[in-house]
Chains A and B, each alone.
Chain A
């Protein structure tokens, strides 16, 4: 495996009893790439992502994340990745600054680093006035932006984002994607799931999962050509329609 691969999955499978949530997926993600991980509800996106983050044991298959083996070096992987789960991942009874301090501290940032990082983030997010506000008092869009910043606090090589913009208004979504682009520019690989097809167009490459398998993987432009569709939405609908599995 070459060094410019951030993620490399081989035949990665997860079964829950008789149910195969993720069925032998194989793919590579290049360093610095924005990789869109699409699929209908219940297609197995979150399960796959949880395996890649070391939250869930693969039933079979292997993967290398940031150069480390998923089975053997999960704790090393954890230092190199950031993760933003579907569920809200900040402590809502802590303020923005306290959340940053907590996660920064856990990743081993020094007090000075935390301080610098905090003022930098507050400035970028224009949240200087809200520094001491408890997170639960923030609107959803702001929360998600703070959560992304917190997932990036230790400058990970790869960041996993599970539906980061779900329920967020279009303006904030646009701003959120600006942040994703900036992270990718700075060299971070972004692995993102979404249900918004306009967001899929922003990705360098896109994979589409159907019933636990990756049915298509390419740049948005080539996928549209391949499926003879004007938009990613058309591509997605053609593929997702084949799904036999119901929402799960």
Chain B
């Protein structure tokens, strides 16, 4: 126990004497939490629309006005040449082209039916998808208006329509920030913990001090614990800073208890740090450790369900996410912050992450060799 205390004393001294680590501890949460949520907003606004109106009738004007009225769209051009509109699409000046064909009003009146043609620039997939969908909604709304006007007074011919009204539980306004920020806090804790621990033992290998440690009678588990505990404390500090910033900047206060988050984070950090220390025992220099960690982090973060829904991944990818600690923490964060889940609700998550911690730290201890 005394050896462990001595090791911890030394690790903490080195950490708090390293200005780069201290700066990282405060800069990273601040920058990531203030800027990333702005970028991770899926709502699409300011879709540039170019209308090609071959009809120029009162009805086509009504449709154009309706498009202009929403703040999702910005009318960049109103023209009567489809070719000109396509050129604008090619130059990226327009995202969506709406073509109202000649005889739009006539066929609407006479045949009760008219066609509007949509051309969408799909280079930016998200914008194209959502822009197209919004446009379809606007046109179908317009369609309903027209149908009401033309319906017989008794409403006999009106086709039945099922209207869907949705209530968004736990995040009533579908605010993306409330959804994203807790996830970004998770990424933050993971990155800081994962990278710092991965670089640490390797640094001792590079400098040569590990040799000196290896000729001492210190136990392997003592050495690994001496590395694990300081970064565990550091991870919890980062989490605290992250939660504080999300409260100050976004007013996010977890519906559930903070204790639940900390209990899970405590278990989670053991897993992430175990992985980092494992990498550290595998690598021969800091560059290798950095590249291996980067590789793992990329996969963990992209498959972690922060940006994309895991439910919509292919089956095999979903199986991969079961082995991804980040997935569990993001889920837990969202459950606790948005829904107010309790420790009992996340008991499975804690169990799985603890199991990962045992496996990964076990690997680190076994793979750390005092003798080659």
| A interface, CB within 8 angstroms of B | 53-57, 74-75, 78-79, 81-83, 85, 87-94, 98, 101-103, 105-108
**B211: which A residues are within 8 A, CB to CB?**
55, 83, 85, 87, 89
| B interface, CB within 8 angstroms of A | 2-3, 5-7, 9-10, 13-14, 17-18, 207-209, 211-218, 370-372
How far apart sit A85 and B213, CA to CA, in the bound complex (Å)?
11
> Could you say which of A82, A91, A106 contacts B3, with CB atoms under 8 Å apart?
A106
Ranked 10 nearest A-B pairs via Cβ: A87-B208, A105-B6, A89-B212, A83-B215, A78-B217, A85-B211, A102-B10, A106-B216, A79-B217, A53-B215
CB distance from B220 to the nearest CB of A (A): 11
How far apart sit A94 and B6, CA to CA, in the bound complex (Å)?
13
CB distance from B6 to the nearest CB of A (A): 3
> Could you say which of B10, B208, B216, B217 contacts A94, with CB atoms under 8 Å apart?
B10
**B6: which A residues are within 8 A, CB to CB?**
101-102, 105-106
How far apart sit A94 and B10, CA to CA, in the bound complex (Å)?
8
Contact A55–B212 (Cβ < 8 Å)? no
> Could you say which of B5, B207, B370 contacts A87, with CB atoms under 8 Å apart?
B207
**A89: which B residues are within 8 A, CB to CB?**
208-209, 211-212
How far apart sit A82 and B213, CA to CA, in the bound complex (Å)?
11
**B17: which A residues are within 8 A, CB to CB?**
93
Asked, given contacts A55-B372, A93-B17, A98-B13, whether A105 binds B2 with beta carbons under 8 Å apart, the answer is yes
How far apart sit A75 and B215, CA to CA, in the bound complex (Å)?
9
CB distance from A154 to the nearest CB of B (A): 9
A-B pair count, CB < 8 Å, reads 76
Q: What are 20 residue pairs bridging A and B, where the CB atoms are less than 8 Å apart in the complex?
A: A55-B215, A55-B371, A56-B371, A79-B217, A88-B208, A89-B211, A89-B212, A91-B14, A93-B14, A94-B13, A98-B13, A101-B6, A101-B9, A105-B2, A105-B5, A105-B9, A106-B6, A106-B213, A106-B217, A106-B218
How far apart sit A75 and B116, CA to CA, in the bound complex (Å)?
83
With both beta carbons as reference points, the residue of chain A lying nearest to B6 in the complex is identified as A105
**A107: which B residues are within 8 A, CB to CB?**
216-217
How far apart sit A85 and B7, CA to CA, in the bound complex (Å)?
20
**A81: which B residues are within 8 A, CB to CB?**
215
Contact A74–B371 (Cβ < 8 Å)? yes
**B216: which A residues are within 8 A, CB to CB?**
78, 103, 106-107
CB distance from A86 to the nearest CB of B (A): 8
With both beta carbons as reference points, the residue of chain B lying nearest to A53 in the complex is identified as B215
**A57: which B residues are within 8 A, CB to CB?**
371-372
> Could you say which of B3, B7, B208, B209 contacts A108, with CB atoms under 8 Å apart?
B3
How far apart sit A106 and B223, CA to CA, in the bound complex (Å)?
10
**A82: which B residues are within 8 A, CB to CB?**
215
How far apart sit A56 and B215, CA to CA, in the bound complex (Å)?
10
**A105: which B residues are within 8 A, CB to CB?**
2-3, 5-6, 9
In the complex, given contacts A94-B14, A105-B5, what are 8 additional A-B residue pairs having Cβ atoms less than 8 angstroms apart?
Answer: A55-B211, A55-B372, A83-B211, A85-B212, A87-B211, A90-B212, A93-B13, A106-B217
